[in-house]
């Protein structure tokens, strides 16, 4: 697996994610209405619209600059838990890529893993806490496994998409132990986690991108 992943294709991924978030804004907000404060779709859509505006104003030259811009924009435009959490995910990915114009499947897998580490540092969530972690962690493992096996990146990203979707679905029966949903205790059971749903969209966007 030695594909050259360009900054342009990574930007295409980010723009596709913004598109999916916009399409799913009301759905994400409805999920958050059940176990939170009904703002997750609005939060993420506001943030990703600002990201697209920033990218329209000037294309970052490197993978590091691209993801840093995405992360900083999310942190500065999104309130609530998801701004710092998704912001940190992208910021860590950016610092892992560094100032390179092209990167590799291995680096992409490593960057996503580092992003997960950033989310854990910030939010202290682990498996089964019913958060974005439960979709992101399986996606990280699936992509890493595909890259280690030497398969092509497109297949690896489809595996990661499927793993994230399964992780998202698995949040429904969980009892929330982190974030606003945890205030509900037993009443959080039976509802899909909004943040995990957004992570599944991020991996869906990756699988749809022509890497």
Size of the site for ligand ADP (CB under 6 A): 24
d(CA 71, CA 42): 17
| Contact code string over 89-128 relative to ligand ADP, x by CB under 6 A | ------------------------------x---xxx---
Of 2-10, 37-45, 86-94, 151-159, the segment contacting Mg ion by CB under 5 A is 37-45
Does the footprint of Mg ion cover residue 39 (CB under 5 A)? yes
Binding ligand ADP (rule: CB under 6 A), the pick from 11, 107, 193, 204 is 193
Does the footprint of ligand ADP cover residue 194 (CB under 6 A)? yes
d(CA 5, CA 194): 30
Of 12-20, 27-35, 56-64, 92-100, the segment contacting Mg ion by CB under 5 A is 27-35
Does the footprint of ligand ADP cover residue 80 (CB under 6 A)? yes
d(CA 118, CA 122): 6
d(CA 79, CA 81): 7
Name the residue whose CB lies closest to ligand ADP. Answer: 195
> Within 13 Å of residue 55, how many CA atoms lie on the same side as its CB?
25
Contacted entry of Mg ion, ligand ADP, none for residue 207, CB cut-off 5 to 8 Å set by kind: none
Does the footprint of ligand ADP cover residue 196 (CB under 6 A)? yes
Contacted entry of Mg ion, ligand ADP, none for residue 108, CB cut-off 5 to 8 Å set by kind: none
By the 8 A CB rule, do 68 and 55 touch? no
Does the footprint of ligand ADP cover residue 45 (CB under 6 A)? no
* Contacts (Cβ under 8 Å, ≥6 apart) of 74: 47, 48, 50, 51, 83, 86, 87, 90
DSSP class of residue 175?
A: P
Would you state the structure tokens that stand for residue 31, as one six-digit string? 């999920």
Listed residue (138, 142, 203, 140) closest to 171, CA to CA: 138
Terminal Cα-to-Cα distance of the chain (whole angstroms): 12
* Residue 2: Cβ-neighbour burial (10 angstroms; 0-12, 13-18, 19+): exposed
Of 8-16, 32-40, 65-73, 106-114, the segment contacting ligand ADP by CB under 6 A is 32-40
Q: How many residues does the chain have?
A: 211
Of 5-13, 57-65, 87-95, 191-199, the segment contacting ligand ADP by CB under 6 A is 191-199
Chain residues binding ligand ADP by CB under 6 A are 32, 36-37, 39-40, 43, 80-82, 85, 119, 123-125, 131-133, 178-180, 193-196
């Amino acid at each position: 697996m030695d594909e050259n992943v360009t900054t342009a294709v990574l930007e295409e991924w980010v723009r596709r994610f913004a598109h999916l978030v916009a399409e799913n804004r009301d759905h994400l907000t409805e999920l958050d209405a059940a176990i939170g404060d009904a703002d997750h779709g609005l939060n993420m859509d506001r943030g990703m619209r600002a990201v697209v505006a920033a990218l329209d104003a000037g294309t970052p030259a490197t993978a590091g600059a691209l993801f840093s811009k995405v992360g900083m924009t999310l942190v500065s435009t999104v309130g609530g838990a998801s701004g710092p959490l998704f912001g940190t995910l992208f910021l860590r990915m950016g610092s892992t890529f560094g100032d390179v114009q092209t990167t590799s499947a291995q680096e992409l897998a490593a960057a996503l893993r580092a992003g997960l580490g950033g989310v854990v540092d910030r939010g202290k969530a682990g498996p089964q806490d019913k958060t974005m972690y439960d979709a992101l962690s399986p996606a990280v493992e699936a992509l890493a496994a595909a890259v280690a096996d030497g398969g092509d990146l497109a297949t690896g990203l489809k595996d990661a998409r499927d793993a994230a979707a399964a992780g998202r679905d698995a949040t429904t029966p969980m009892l929330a132990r982190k974030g606003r949903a945890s205030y509900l205790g037993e009443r959080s059971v039976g509802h899909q986690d909004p943040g995990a749903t957004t992570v599944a969209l991020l991996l869906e966007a990756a699988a749809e991108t022509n890497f």
